[in-house]
Amino acid sequence: MKTKLLIVFIIIFLTLPIFTFGYKYEKTIDKSFVVDSNFDFELKNCNGNIDVATYKGNKILIKIRKYSNSSGSFEKTKVIFKKSDGKLKVSIKRPGNNCRTSFEFYIKLPRNLSLTVVETINGRIGADGIFGDFSAKTVNGRLSFEGVLDDAKFATVNGSIGVYLDKPLSGDLSIRSVNGSVKLELDKNSSFFLSSKTTNGSIKSDFGLHRTKRFIGSKMDGVVNDGKFDIKIQTVNGSVKVLED
């Protein structure tokens, strides 16, 4: 699945300018920034999906599809790039709380940046590659991650979360949803203490941990391979699966 997702990302990244989507107002924005490995990247979007992957390089490459059916919103809503010492911040400047213009981001980052933060309100987030510390947050949309990371946080209100790690766990994980299932796949040699709970849903683990039924909901806590890192998983309406890769 990882290879398929990466191939799809590359195709989209290279061919985005020729796509047409039927909106009245559309444009494509391309940006690149030279950075070093001790760099932080932060993106805060409003409406639209975010896809991010890492590669062997020293530039942050960003393709953006901007689209709307409102001419006023389209002209007044801007992408702001702010690069300072050690950090690139990308944000959306919009009139008031108007989110009538959407932005889809396709981003390639150098491997092992110190920190990557990606957020949107209405849209999914997908990430693939080798990261340092990582944070992904949306309100309405699913989250998916494949690859390697250090400390990480994933949060959504309405959507599922899938995290698939290629190597043993190397940092703390926090995974939270309200309306959505959570699936975490870990290398069998990962060392962690798991604290997980759901209000309406099942809990399953491949690591020999046992579910405890509560008056409302279920929980599963326990130590695996000496418990070096903390994993906290919580959802209200949805299942929780902690599986061995």
Give the pLDDT score at 85. Answer: 87
| Integer CA distances (angstroms), 77 to 23, 119, 230, in order | 16, 17, 40
Every domain of the chain and the residues it spans: 171-245
Residue 232 CB partners (closer than 8 Å, separation 6+): 172, 173, 174, 175, 176, 195, 196
Q: What is the reported pLDDT for 81?
A: 98
Q: What is the pLDDT of residues 54-82, one digit of tens each?
A: 999 999 999 999 999 999 999 999 999 99
Q: How confident is the model at residue 5 (pLDDT cuts 50, 70, 90)?
A: low
Confidence of residue 20 (pLDDT cuts 50, 70, 90): very low
Least confident of 194-203, 211-220, 223-232: 211-220
Q: Token pair 């399953």 is at which residue?
A: 204
Please identify which residue in the block is written with the tokens 């906290």. 232
Token pair 């994993």: residue = 231
Residue 21: per-residue pLDDT: 57
Give percent helix, percent strand, percent coil of the chain, each to the nearest 5.
10, 55, 35
Residue 83: the pLDDT is 96
**pLDDT tens string 27-45:** 999 999 999 889 999 999 9
Rounded mean pLDDT of 161-178? 97
Q: Which residues of 31-49 are buried (b: 16+ CB within 10 A; e: fewer)?
A: eeeebeeebbbbbebbbbb
Cβ atoms within 10 A of the Cβ of 179, count?
A: 15
